[in-house]
Amino acid sequence: MHCFTSIQIRRHILKWQGLLGLTALASLVHVAQAQDTRNVREPVMPATCTVLLAEPSTPNRNDAPRIQTAMDNCLPGKAVHLAANNGNTAFTSGPLKFRSGVTLVVDAGVTLYASTNPLLFDRGAKTCGSNDAAGKGCQPFIAVEGVWGAGIMGEGVIDGQGGQLIEGKNESWWQIARRAQKEKQRQNVPRLIQLDKVQDFTMHRITLRNSPNFHVAMNRVDGFTAWGIRIDTPHDARNTDGIDPGASRNVTIAYSHIRTGDDNVAIKAGSNGPSENISILHNHFYSGHGMSIGSETNGGVRNVLVEDLVMDGTTSGLRIKSNDRRGGIVSGVVYRDVCLRDIRWPLYINTQYEPGPAGDLIPSYTDIRMERVHSLTPGQVILQGYDEQRPLHLALKDVVVDGNPVIKLEFAKLTGQLNAPDAQAVNCTERFVPFPQS
């Protein structure tokens, strides 16, 4: 159930009376100002309103109508369960829309598959499943818009089927995305989960697999918790970011395992406003592009805590990326107790990401701190500010990159030293673990 803070209670009390307890969120140590301002606790499963049983698979199956009806009729504070039945464990569905206060639970052993029929996701122009200049032709599989207190839980799986052939075509969602890259176009493919103007959304224990595009994309969200989730998609699946908080605040991603084909987590802030008060705690990242901020930072990113993170085989490690066409102020970012291994760019802070025509949205990175960060393999370290007037301000304490890393420093004002003689390297020996299999 959801336990709201006093601020959240005041926010919702005029909407619904007596709903204190929709999803409980884990108490984490408060460290300065650089984190989620909520008191976050591990979520608790809400009571059940409806159980839907899996039925035998048939061609062109679409379970969306019965799932949507169940969710529409569920009272706030309760959950719709998807459950196995006589050996049947699969649901296949077109787009779903969430309601305030309602949680979708996918039981252990059950998989909710996104349909491969592009017409179900099409926005009306019949472009979903094709490439063009816009790339906005598909609805997301799960749309959460303008609601509060909703969630996705359970030990089951949500599978976007990104590697399966699109119905009526000879390519998969991922293949048209790769072709779009070669042809300098944009792919029309569905995101797995899209959150817009949402308050207090919770994900707990669920596994997300094979999204055609971003797994969880957020826009103007206030209050998001992902606790103990898994995201599992191949390393070469293009644009399959794990979790992207954009223009969002009060975000906690904790105790989760993420491997994907793009950014494991990417904090973004474009024209819709800042991203702030974000905690990334006790996570493991595998294949992917790392723990990223950017590239859109023109809305401002502030008060971010990344603590107890293990990255094993990502292309980049701790990464802040932007340029003068989408840059802004990134400040109050703390990286603490981080272990890295087999990473090409273990530390990557760059103001010239994807060079192009000059713009006037200048990136500015200030009050960035790294404490007890240890890369067991060398790679390349890039620490780059924009110019002499707008340098990178970075404090280093016990930051060690083993071997002989290639180091590029440009317009960087450092407090402390990389590989300082007195640095106390974090012991990472026991912290690397295999990706957990469901």
pLDDT of 357-366, one tens digit each? 999 999 999 9
pLDDT in tens, 148-173: 999 999 999 999 999 999 999 999 99
* Three-state secondary-structure class, residue 67: helix
Q: Residue 437: what pLDDT?
A: 85
Q: List the catalytic residue out of 215, 282, 284, 289.
A: 289
Q: Can you tell me the distance from the alpha carbon of 58 to that of 35, in angstroms, rounded to the nearest whole number?
A: 47
Examine the residue annotation and report whether 262 is marked as an active-site residue of this protein: yes
Q: Which residue, among 142, 127, 61, 138, has the nearest Cα to 95 in the 3D structure? A: 142
Q: Residue 127: what pLDDT?
A: 98
Q: Residue 34: what pLDDT?
A: 52
Residues of the chain with pLDDT under 50: 1-33
Q: Residue 150: what pLDDT?
A: 98
**Global model pTM greater than 0.85:** yes
Residue 27: exposed, middle, or buried by beta-carbon count in 10 A (0-12, 13-18, 19+)?
A: exposed
Residues ≥6 apart with Cβ < 8 Å to 45: 1, 79, 103, 105, 153, 204
Q: List the catalytic residue out of 262, 263, 312, 324.
A: 262
Assign residue 221 a region (left: φ > 0; alpha: ψ between -120 and 50; beta: otherwise): beta
Q: Residue 438: what pLDDT?
A: 66
Q: Residue 24: what pLDDT?
A: 36
Cα–Cα distances (Å) from 47 to 1, 104, 155, in that order, read: 8, 11, 16
Residues ≥6 apart with Cβ < 8 Å to 141: 93, 95, 96, 114, 121, 158, 160, 190, 191, 192, 193
